[in-house]
């Protein structure tokens, strides 16, 4: 125990000066991270809604492709998928000129599958009685969906959707392996130069954390708004 | 108003309705009674096609469907416009206030004028004693209040027939009366109604006709409250005597 304690390299534990000095460089990386994250959130959500609805279709030729897509994306690591996109696809003549764009495509396509599952499960968790009440009031499928089901499903979908958003932000770090100069890539660059891994990775971790705290803040606000019709809402 | 002939319905090989024939005249209040699992609720749900019967015909208002071929959407829509449904579990829309619960369907389905619908809805809420709660969300209401709002929501579509599926079964005993009073007031106005109920005294008071169902058949039916006061069939007698033991 004592031996381990004395082996700690205190001077390398956290170098505030280095952290502050490298902050502008890291924030430039964060900008790229946020660009990828922002577009990936939007694209994965939109694609996820289509996939989720397709997954519930009565028509097998719509349902099955959606099912297979979701199963594949959920069952394969994002990192592997990004490698396939960036290093594999050139084999069939598809080449990404921009690594950032490849990152957006990879993260979006992957997280769309998770979004689809959230869409599906939250629509299914609206009680059957709501469909029946709407039907008995002569509302058709589209009217029932837009006026009755989706508003309630949205409330249910909020927490898991925001979890996905946080995962998207963190998932963008995998784009560093295809040379995208995002936050993690920048941190690794400096740590390689200064040999101070601890300081750089802890700083990067803290920045990711702050971003997720901000996302969590929006989640809280939206949840409050959507819960207002429940009498036990805080 | 309603004419049902040889109606059949099965769920996964279980025959719930074996062959049902009955009629409801305009202005009549018909109560469906019988033990659990006798098919009362299924029969009621068939009347507005929440369940699709396997065979037979239903005529309601001016439309008539035979269940030999697959139903068209248009037929379902046509049948449904004649009836309003009140559920055991209320099924108000939780994300809408009471008044919004009422106005949504007329505005989206019938494209009615918003001000007119709102006025009509307020009158109906007045009638069921819910005016003071019109801006509350269902979650803030008692079961009795929710059910009265649900009755008003069905009425606002001006259905020819009101269908009630055990409207008081999910309520605390002290809340049953306020809902029954609303239904009784509707009966006195001449609203045609079909009511599935376990409230025998209520059925006795209100019914123009009572149907007793058991194991997928209408075993006995009679004018007024005869089925309850002077049951003929041994199964009706048995059912009623079991209730008295409570």
* Cα separation, B6 vs A13, whole angstroms: 84
User: Which residues does chain B have within 8 Å of residue A151's beta carbon, measured at their own beta carbons?
Assistant: 95
Contact call for residues A48 and A153 (beta carbons, < 8 A): no
How many Cβ atoms sit within 10 Å of the Cβ of residue A139?
21
Q: Do B50 and A132 touch (CB under 8 A)?
A: yes
How many Cβ atoms sit within 10 Å of the Cβ of residue A201?
14
* Cα separation, A102 vs A35, whole angstroms: 12
Nearest C-alpha in A relative to B76: A138
Task: Give the one of B92, B140, B153 whose C-beta lies nearest to A231's C-beta.
Answer: B140
Arithmetic mean of pLDDT, A13-36: 93
Name residue, tokens 């009795």.
B144
CA distances from B53 to A19, B5, B9 (A): 72, 11, 5
Could you read off the pLDDT of A38-90 as tens digits, one per residue? 999 999 999 999 999 999 999 999 999 999 999 999 999 999 999 999 999 98
- The CATH homologous superfamily for domain A2-226 is MetI-like (1.10.3720.10)
User: Which residues does chain A have within 8 Å of residue B81's beta carbon, measured at their own beta carbons?
Assistant: 138
Tokens representing B212 are: 């007793």
* Cα separation, A100 vs A117, whole angstroms: 26
Arithmetic mean of pLDDT, B41-47: 95
Top residue of B52, B93, B154 to mutate, by most chain A CBs within 10 Å, is B93
Query: How close is the nearest chain B Cα to the Cα of A135, in Å?
Result: 8
Three-state secondary structure readout of chain B: CEEEEEEEEEECCEEEEEEEEEEECCCCEEEEECCCCCCHHHHHHHHCCCCCCCEEEEEECCEEEECCCCCCHHHHHHHHCCEEEECCCCCCCCCCCHHHHHHHHHHHCCCCCHHHHHHHHHHHHHHCCCHHHCCCCHHHCCHHHHHHHHHHHHHCCCCCEEEEECCCCCCCHHHHHHHHHHHHHHHHCCCEEEEECCCHHHHHHHCCEEEEEECCEEEEEEECCHHHHCCCCHHHHHHHHHHHCC
Q: Is residue B104 classed exposed, middle or buried when 0-12, 13-18 and 19+ CB atoms within 10 A define those classes?
A: buried
- pLDDT at position A102: 94
Asked if the model's pLDDT at residue A91 lies above 50, the reply is: yes
Could you read off the pLDDT of A140-188 as tens digits, one per residue? 999 999 999 999 999 999 999 999 999 999 999 999 999 999 999 999 9
* Cα separation, A194 vs A12, whole angstroms: 10
Asked if the model's pLDDT at residue A28 lies above 90, the reply is: yes
The strand pairing partners of B8, in sequence order, are B55
User: Which residues does chain A have within 8 Å of residue B50's beta carbon, measured at their own beta carbons?
Assistant: 132, 135-136
User: Which residues does chain B have within 8 Å of residue A133's beta carbon, measured at their own beta carbons?
Assistant: 85, 87, 91-93, 150
Query: How close is the nearest chain A Cα to the Cα of B154, in Å?
Result: 7
Asked if the model's pLDDT at residue A233 lies above 60, the reply is: no
Tokens representing B12 are: 């996964």
Contact call for residues A112 and A47 (beta carbons, < 8 A): yes
Contact call for residues B175 and B196 (beta carbons, < 8 A): no
- pLDDT at position B246: 53
User: Which residues does chain A have within 8 Å of residue B109's beta carbon, measured at their own beta carbons?
Assistant: 137-140, 143
The strand pairing partners of B63, in sequence order, are B60
How many Cβ atoms sit within 10 Å of the Cβ of residue A206?
12
Range scoring the smallest mean pLDDT among A25-34, A60-69, B13-22: B13-22
Could you read off the pLDDT of A177-216 as tens digits, one per residue? 999 999 999 999 999 999 888 899 999 999 999 999 999 9
Helix pair angle (A60-75, A16-55), 10° resolution: 160
How many pairs of residues across A and B have Cβ atoms under 8 Å apart? 70
Q: Is residue B128 classed exposed, middle or buried when 0-12, 13-18 and 19+ CB atoms within 10 A define those classes?
A: buried
Range scoring the smallest mean pLDDT among A7-11, A82-86, A125-129, B23-27: A7-11
- pLDDT at position B242: 85
Helix pair angle (A150-171, A16-55), 10° resolution: 140
Q: Is residue B4 classed exposed, middle or buried when 0-12, 13-18 and 19+ CB atoms within 10 A define those classes?
A: buried
Arithmetic mean of pLDDT, A15-23: 91
- pLDDT at position A234: 39
* Cα separation, A128 vs A147, whole angstroms: 15
Closest CA to B68 of B77, B58, B83: B58
CA distances from B184 to A82, B154, B204 (A): 68, 16, 12
User: Which residues does chain B have within 8 Å of residue A135's beta carbon, measured at their own beta carbons?
Assistant: 48, 50, 80
Arithmetic mean of pLDDT, B1-25: 92
Report the residue count for chain A.
234
Q: Do B109 and A139 touch (CB under 8 A)?
A: yes
For residue A182, the Cα-to-chain-centroid distance in whole angstroms is 15
How many Cβ atoms sit within 10 Å of the Cβ of residue B92?
26
Q: Do A129 and B89 touch (CB under 8 A)?
A: yes
> pLDDT grade, residue B73 (50/70/90)?
confident
Q: Do B105 and A138 touch (CB under 8 A)?
A: yes
Arithmetic mean of pLDDT, A7-19: 82
Spans of all domains in chain A: 2-226
* Cα separation, A112 vs B97, whole angstroms: 34
Angle at B213 between CA B208 and CA B215, to 5 degrees: 175
Respond yes or no on whether ipTM tops 0.90.
Answer: yes
> pLDDT grade, residue B245 (50/70/90)?
low
Contact call for residues A155 and A227 (beta carbons, < 8 A): yes
Could you read off the pLDDT of B134-170 as tens digits, one per residue? 999 999 999 999 999 999 999 999 999 999 999 999 9
A138: left (phi over 0), alpha (psi -120 to 50) or beta: left
Nearest C-alpha in B relative to A154: B95
Arithmetic mean of pLDDT, B169-177: 92
Task: Give the one of A129, A137, A231 whose C-beta lies nearest to B109's C-beta.
Answer: A137
- pLDDT at position A3: 81
Q: Do B105 and A137 touch (CB under 8 A)?
A: yes
Say yes or no: B69 contacts chain A, CB-CB below 8 A: no
* Cα separation, A200 vs A187, whole angstroms: 5
Q: Do B92 and A133 touch (CB under 8 A)?
A: yes
């Amino acid at each position: 125990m004592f031996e381990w304690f004395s082996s700690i390299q205190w001077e390398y534990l956290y170098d505030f000066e280095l952290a502050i000095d490298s902050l502008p460089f890291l924030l430039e990386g964060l900008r790229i991270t946020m660009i990828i994250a922002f577009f990936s959130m939007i694209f994965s959500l939109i694609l996820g809604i289509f996939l989720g609805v397709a997954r519930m279709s009565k028509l097998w030729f719509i349902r099955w492709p959606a099912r297979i897509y979701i199963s594949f994306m959920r069952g394969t690591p994002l990192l592997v998928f990004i490698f396939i996109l960036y290093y594999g696809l050139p084999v069939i003549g598809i080449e990404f000129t921009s690594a950032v764009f490849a990152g957006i495509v990879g993260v979006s396509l992957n997280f769309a599958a998770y979004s689809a599952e959230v869409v599906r499960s939250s629509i299914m968790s609206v009680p059957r009685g709501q469909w029946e009440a709407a039907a008995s009031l002569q509302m058709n499928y589209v009217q029932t969906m837009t006026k009755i089901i989706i508003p309630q499903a949205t409330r249910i979908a909020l927490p898991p959707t925001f979890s996905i958003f946080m995962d998207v932000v963190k998932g963008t770090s995998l784009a560093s392996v295809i040379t995208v100069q995002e936050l993690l890539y920048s941190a690794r660059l400096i740590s390689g130069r200064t040999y101070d891994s601890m300081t750089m990775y802890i700083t990067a971790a803290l920045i990711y954390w702050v971003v997720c705290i901000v996302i969590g803040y929006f989640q809280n606000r939206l949840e409050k708004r959507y819960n207002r019709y429940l009498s036990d809402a805080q | 108003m309603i004419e049902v002939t040889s109606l059949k319905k099965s769920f996964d090989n279980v025959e719930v309705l074996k062959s049902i024939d009955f009629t409801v005249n305009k202005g009549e209040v018909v109560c469906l009674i019988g033990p659990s699992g006798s098919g009362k609720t299924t029969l009621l749900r068939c009347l507005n096609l929440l369940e699709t019967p396997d065979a037979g015909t239903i005529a309601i208002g001016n439309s008539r469907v035979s269940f030999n071929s697959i139903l068209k959407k248009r037929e379902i829509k046509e049948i449904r416009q004649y009836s309003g449904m009140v559920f055991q579990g209320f099924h108000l829309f939780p994300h809408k206030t009471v008044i919004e619960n009422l106005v949504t369907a007329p505005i989206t389905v019938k494209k009615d004028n918003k001000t007119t619908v709102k006025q009509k809805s307020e009158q109906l809420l007045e009638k069921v004693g819910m005016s003071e709660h019109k801006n509350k969300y269902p979650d803030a209401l008692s079961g009795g209040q929710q059910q009265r709002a649900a009755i008003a929501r069905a009425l606002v579509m001006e259905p020819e027939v009101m269908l009630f599926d055990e409207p008081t079964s999910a309520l605390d005993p002290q809340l049953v009366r306020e809902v029954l009073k609303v239904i009784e007031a509707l009966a006195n106005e001449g609203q045609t109604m079909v009511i599935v109920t376990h409230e025998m005294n209520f059925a006795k008071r209100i019914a123009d006709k009572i149907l007793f169902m058991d194991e997928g058949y209408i075993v006995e039916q009679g004018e007024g409250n005869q089925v309850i006061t002077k049951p003929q069939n041994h199964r009706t007698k048995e059912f009623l005597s079991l209730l008295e033991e409570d």
